[in-house]
């Protein structure tokens, strides 16, 4: 007989959500986390979208350590000198708070505590070496030569799925599967943040940016989110391009972002309180491994469940939903006591009925757009050229927009046919 019904590896949003659901239904759950306390090894873009926590923690917004709700959303294209932004701000965000900025250290500790309060056994500071197997079936986990057994293991170990790789249930990550995320938390007084971002009370700002100013073909984007008295600012850099370039470093890129003329005034006078780096899942549907097998399921970032379409970055809501779905799958199978590969295929069936796999399938190939040459190398400069001619007066006759656009594309060596074909691909993917 197994020591636990379920062992959950990883106390991030996916793992803790699974443990909360299981423990609240009186399952015997072990939640193992390598960092102590939970969250100290994480790098987060910083916005928790959606209300999936409603399913396991009623009224969670009242007690969760959220920073601000997203009132203002920006998508920007940065050149060396300019910032071309799409800004959206709505009173509807006041009525329906669908996104909250968070600091993962606080959020993960809170979720892990909720799991413990629900009845899960929480063990921090323990690194699982690999899955324990018998006759090809996962029977638990191994740590320092000791085996702890469970009917099922839920792997929610994050963007670096080391346990899954070392256990041979998924292939090592490739450069196309991940990006490097580098983040700074910059302390700044609350009144300064409100003034600079035109915010009041608990209102918050969330911005994502395309870096069109980088040299050497390196592709990267950035994010800037407001917390109560700090700013989360970071860069997400293509691993593939970073490696092939060889001369550019991720810390140089975030410094260029910090000093950009449209960003520097927003963080002026701030003090860097935290600096961290981590892998970020960016491979899309093509990077999702097999999600289940004899005695195990994979959830959250470990399963490749993150979403970016250039307008919004999401991951925590996918993690929470997949963790809950994994827990529900186990409980449905518990009566029969069958946790075989064929039985646990129910996990994928359930996920296909949620936004998690539906989004991953519907936006299959989106990474080819968000990490495309046109978006990063040409579009920011084209937009800058168009805007400069429209808004800068030089005493010359005005030209039609079509002519301005054609000349801007020519300057970037982008043909009309390429622009049309790439735009069509973008529309299809988006």
My answer on whether 150 and 297 are in the same domain is yes
SS3 274: strand
Is 90 exceeded by the pLDDT of residue 371?
Answer: no
Question: Where does 261-310 show beta strands of DSSP type E?
Answer: 271-281, 292-293, 296-298, 307-308
State the pLDDT at residue 428: 67
The pLDDT tens digits for 122-148 are 999 999 999 999 999 999 999 998 999
67-71, 217-221, 400-404, 409-413: which is most confident: 67-71
Which residues 6+ apart lie within 8 Å of 11 measured at CB? 19, 31, 32, 33, 38, 108, 111, 112, 115, 122, 124
State the pLDDT at residue 396: 84
My answer on whether 342 and 402 are in the same domain is no
The pLDDT tens digits for 272-300 are 998 888 888 888 888 899 999 999 999 99
Angle formed at CA 428 by CA 427 and CA 430, multiple of 5 degrees = 60
Rounded to an integer, the average pLDDT of 86-90 is 94
Instruction: Identify the domain boundary among 364, 387, 402.
Output: 364
Pull the structure tokens for residue 402.
């079509």
State the pLDDT at residue 201: 95
State the pLDDT at residue 340: 96
- Residue 237 maps to a domain: yes
Q: How many CB atoms lie within 10 A of CB 118?
A: 21
My answer on whether 202 and 272 are in the same domain is yes
- Residue 75 maps to a domain: no
State the pLDDT at residue 370: 74
State the pLDDT at residue 298: 98
Instruction: Identify the domain boundary among 238, 258, 281.
Output: 281
My answer on whether 261 and 298 are in the same domain is no
Following DSSP, what letter does each residue of 116-174 receive, concatenated? Answer: HHHT-EEEES----EEEEETTEEEEEEETTEEEEEEEEEE---SS-HHHHHTTSSPPP-
Full domain range(s) for residue 323: 4-65+103-171+289-364
My answer on whether 244 and 309 are in the same domain is no
Report the CATH number at residue 255.
3.30.9.90
Is 90 exceeded by the pLDDT of residue 398?
Answer: no
My answer on whether 300 and 153 are in the same domain is yes
Is 90 exceeded by the pLDDT of residue 43?
Answer: no
Distance CA 222, CA 211 (A): 7
My answer on whether 42 and 110 are in the same domain is yes
Q: Name the pairing type of β-strands 66-78 and 83-89.
A: antiparallel
- Residue 260 maps to a domain: yes
My answer on whether 166 and 210 are in the same domain is no
Report the CATH number at residue 22.
3.50.50.60
- Residue 45 maps to a domain: yes
The pLDDT tens digits for 249-269 are 778 899 999 999 999 999 999
Number of domains in the chain: 3
State the pLDDT at residue 188: 97
Q: What is the mean pLDDT of the chain?
A: 92
My answer on whether 20 and 111 are in the same domain is yes
At 247, is the pLDDT very low, low, confident or very high (cuts 50, 70, 90)?
A: low
Distance CA 171, CA 154 (A): 18
Is 80 exceeded by the pLDDT of residue 422?
Answer: no
Rounded to an integer, the average pLDDT of 95-118 is 95
User: Is 291 in contact with 298 (CB distance < 8 Å)?
Assistant: yes
My answer on whether 295 and 152 are in the same domain is yes
- Residue 327 maps to a domain: yes
At 177, is the pLDDT very low, low, confident or very high (cuts 50, 70, 90)?
A: confident
- Residue 222 maps to a domain: yes
Using alpha carbons, list the distances in angstroms from residue 130 to 34, 53, 167, 262, 419: 13, 29, 5, 46, 48
Least confident of 72-81, 238-247, 379-388, 421-430: 421-430
My answer on whether 233 and 253 are in the same domain is yes
SS3 16: helix
Q: How many CB atoms lie within 10 A of CB 273?
A: 13
Least confident of 8-12, 54-58, 411-415: 411-415
- Residue 87 maps to a domain: no
Is 90 exceeded by the pLDDT of residue 377?
Answer: no
End-to-end CA distance of the chain: 49
Rounded to an integer, the average pLDDT of 246-250 is 71
Q: Any idea which residue has 């190398």 for tokens?
A: 377
State the pLDDT at residue 241: 75
Instruction: Identify the domain boundary among 309, 329, 364.
Output: 364
State the pLDDT at residue 31: 98
The pLDDT tens digits for 323-365 are 999 999 999 999 899 999 999 999 999 999 999 999 999 888 8
Bigger pLDDT: 426 vs 73 = 73
My answer on whether 37 and 156 are in the same domain is yes
Is 70 exceeded by the pLDDT of residue 45?
Answer: no
pTM score of the predicted model: 0.93
- Residue 72 maps to a domain: no
């Amino acid at each position: 007989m197994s020591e636990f019904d379920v062992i959950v590896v990883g106390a991030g949003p996916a793992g803790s959500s699974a443990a909360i659901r299981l423990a609240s239904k009186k399952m015997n759950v072990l939640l193992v986390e390598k960092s102590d306390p939970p969250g100290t090894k994480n790098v987060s873009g910083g916005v928790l979208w959606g209300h999936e926590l409603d399913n396991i923690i009623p009224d969670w917004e009242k007690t969760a350590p959220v920073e601000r709700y997203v009132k203002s959303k920006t998508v920007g294209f940065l050149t060396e000198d300019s910032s071309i932004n799409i800004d959206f701000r709505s009173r509807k965000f006041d009525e329906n708070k669908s996104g909250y900025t968070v600091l993962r250290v606080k959020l993960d500790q809170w979720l892990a505590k909720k799991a413990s309060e629900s009845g899960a056994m929480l063990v921090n500071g323990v690194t699982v070496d690999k899955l324990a197997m018998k006759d090809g079936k996962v029977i638990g986990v191994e740590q320092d030569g000791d085996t702890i057994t469970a009917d099922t293991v839920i792997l929610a170990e994050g963007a670096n799925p080391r346990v899954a790789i070392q256990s041979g249930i998924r292939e090592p990550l490739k450069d196309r599967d991940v990006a490097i995320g580098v983040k700074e938390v910059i302390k700044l007084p609350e009144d300064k943040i409100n003034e600079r971002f035109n915010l009041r009370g608990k209102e918050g700002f969330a911005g994502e940016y395309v870096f069109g100013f980088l040299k050497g073909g390196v592709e990267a984007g950035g994010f800037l989110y407001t917390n109560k008295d700090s700013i989360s600012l970071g860069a997400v850099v293509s691993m593939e391009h970073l490696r092939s370039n060889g001369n550019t470093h991720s810390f140089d890129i975030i410094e260029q972002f910090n000093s950009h003329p449209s960003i520097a005034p927003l963080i002026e006078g701030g003090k860097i309180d935290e600096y961290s780096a981590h892998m970020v899942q960016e491979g899309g549907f093509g990077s999702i491994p097999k999600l289940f097998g004899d005695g195990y399921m994979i959830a959250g970032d470990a399963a490749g469940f993150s979403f970016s379409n250039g307008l919004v970055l999401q991951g925590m809501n996918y993690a929470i939903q997949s963790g809950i779905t994994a827990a529900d799958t186990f409980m449905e199978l518990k009566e029969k006591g069958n946790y075989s590969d064929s039985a646990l295929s129910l996990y994928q069936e359930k996920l296909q009925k949620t936004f998690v796999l539906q989004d991953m399938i519907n936006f299959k190939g989106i990474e080819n757009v968000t990490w495309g040459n046109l978006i990063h190398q040409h579009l920011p400069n084209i937009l800058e050229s168009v805007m400069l001619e429209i808004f800068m007066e030089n005493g010359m006759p005005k030209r039609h927009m079509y002519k301005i656009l054609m000349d801007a594309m020519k300057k970037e060596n982008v043909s009309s046919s390429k622009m049309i074909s790439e735009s069509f691909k973008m529309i299809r993917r988006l």
